[in-house]
Structure 1
Amino acid sequence: MSRAEQKEKTRRAIINAAFQQLSADKSFASLSLREVAREAGIAPTSFYRHFTDMDELGLTLVDEAGLMLRQLMRQARQRIVHNRSVIQTSVETFMEFILEHSNVFRLLLRERSGTSPAFRSAVAREIQHFCAELADYLRKENKSSAEMALIQAEAMVILVFHAGADALDASDEVRQRITVKTIQQLRWLAGGTKPPAG
């Protein structure tokens, strides 16, 4: 393995270690450099060969989280199967992501309204990327204007993020109800059906 490959492997180990340390009870702000280094299997001093400080690592985690989510939703839009809507497939894929990568989604949720302006800005940027990709898809699918597609995309993303926050620590039964309700709300928002009664 070359030096560059070894460096990238160690950098990836640090990122994964930080994600693994996050939980419902532990936010990124409460992580210590020593904890992350120990989890990654490196000496604390080696951390600085890859990141200038914990803030840089945190911003990298936000970028990674946003990229993971965008890639997943792109795949969802590409794998629409017979008689299944893009909305249903996307929401179900999003809920699977939350279940399998709860720490990743938790990071985005927490830092979106956290105390660090740099982190808030990074999360806002990731959400805007997410909205822009969805808006581009909606514009092509619905033949709508770029402005209307973006308005619709932003409303959809806000709705899905709120649903994700509610589903994060919910039981399977409650998560399923949230999924069904979110699909109905998005279909109504997309103009596909009437809003659910009540």
Structure 2
Amino acid sequence: MSVLTGGKLKLVQAALRLITQSRSLTSLGLRELAREAGLNPNTFYRHFRNLDEFGLFVLGYIAEDMKKGVRELRRMAESSDQAAHETVAFVYGYFLANPAATTVAVRELHGPSPLLRRALEGQLTASAREMAEDIIERGLVPGLDSATIHEISGMTIRYILFRAMDYIEKPQQRQQIQQETERFINWQFRGALVDSLSPEQIQALASRSPA
């Protein structure tokens, strides 16, 4: 995780411990959070105005950590297949190393707080936009227009988050989940490439395929 110190670090760590007990950020009480962090409740207000602002900070803290690593991997990729493989491996590895952070993201996407749901949706959208921009900049999927790449990137980000808890909770299926996710990404892009071809181009490709 990103470097964080002092009272903010203690509050974030306390929240991540508490939400692993089938909780959401919005269900945490201020006194409960401060007690878990070993702080006076008044210390909370030195850092945050209210629990909503704290929840937004926690989500942002988690998102920035993961996005940084993914961004660096995509920029080193030489092909779309390599980008898919390395990105999926990194993200699922992050999920496994930070299960509490992952639980926050999954729960709050469908949680009771409209503010946190909108914030998480915004972070997913931003991650998808960065993914698409990296793919376009590096020319990893030549032949696809930018709108299609942005659309597939959005679907990919949400699919990976959808599989996150299975990956954490079902160790015997981790390799299978990782491979399925890579196939999902590659099939989306390849299917879109085929969809962009004219009937004549598809026919020409089919005629060259081995029987």
Whole-Å separation in 2 of the counterparts to 1:81 and 1:32: 48
In the alignment, is residue 138 of structure 1 matched against residue 135 of structure 2?
yes
Whole-Å separation in 2 of the counterparts to 1:116 and 1:42: 25
- Contact 2:24–2:111 (Cα < 8 Å) also in 1: no
> 2:190 is matched with which residue?
191
> 1:181 is matched with which residue?
180
- Contact 2:88–2:181 (Cα < 8 Å) also in 1: yes
Per-residue deviation, residues 162-189 of structure 1 (Å, max 9, x unmatched) = 2223323112x21111111111121111
Q: Secondary structure at the match of 2:7?
A: helix
Could you say which structure has the greater relative contact order, defined with CA pairs below 8 angstroms and 6 or more residues apart? 2
Relative to structure 1, is the Cα distance of residues 63 and 99 closer, same or farther in structure 2, using a 3 angstrom cutoff? same
Whole-Å separation in 1 of the counterparts to 2:28 and 2:10: 16
> 1:9 is matched with which residue?
6
> 2:34 is matched with which residue?
37
Give the Å deviation of 1:79.
Answer: 5.1
In the alignment, is residue 168 of structure 1 matched against residue 156 of structure 2?
no
RMSD (CA atoms): 2.5
Give the Å deviation of 1:11.
Answer: 2.1
> 1:158 is matched with which residue?
158
- Contact 2:63–2:123 (Cα < 8 Å) also in 1: yes
Q: Secondary structure at the match of 2:54?
A: helix
Per-residue deviation, residues 71-119 of structure 1 (Å, max 9, x unmatched) = 121133245599x711111111111011011111111111111111101
- Contact 1:76–1:90 (Cα < 8 Å) also in 2: yes
Aligned residues: 186
Q: Which amino acid is the alignment partner of residue 117 of structure 1?
A: P
Q: Which amino acid is the alignment partner of residue 29 of structure 1?
A: T
Q: Indicate which of 99, 102, 106 corresponds to 1:102.
A: 99
TM-score under structure 1 length normalisation: 0.83
Question: Greater share of helix residues, 1 or 2?
Answer: 2
Per-residue deviation, residues 108-154 of structure 1 (Å, max 9, x unmatched) = 11111111110111001100110110010121223443312211211
Q: Which amino acid is the alignment partner of residue 179 of structure 2?
A: V
Give the Å deviation of 1:38.
Answer: 2.5
Structure 1: runs of 5 or more not aligned? 1-7
- Contact 1:14–1:36 (Cα < 8 Å) also in 2: yes
- Contact 2:24–2:108 (Cα < 8 Å) also in 1: no
> 1:51 is matched with which residue?
48
Whole-Å separation in 2 of the counterparts to 1:189 and 1:151: 10
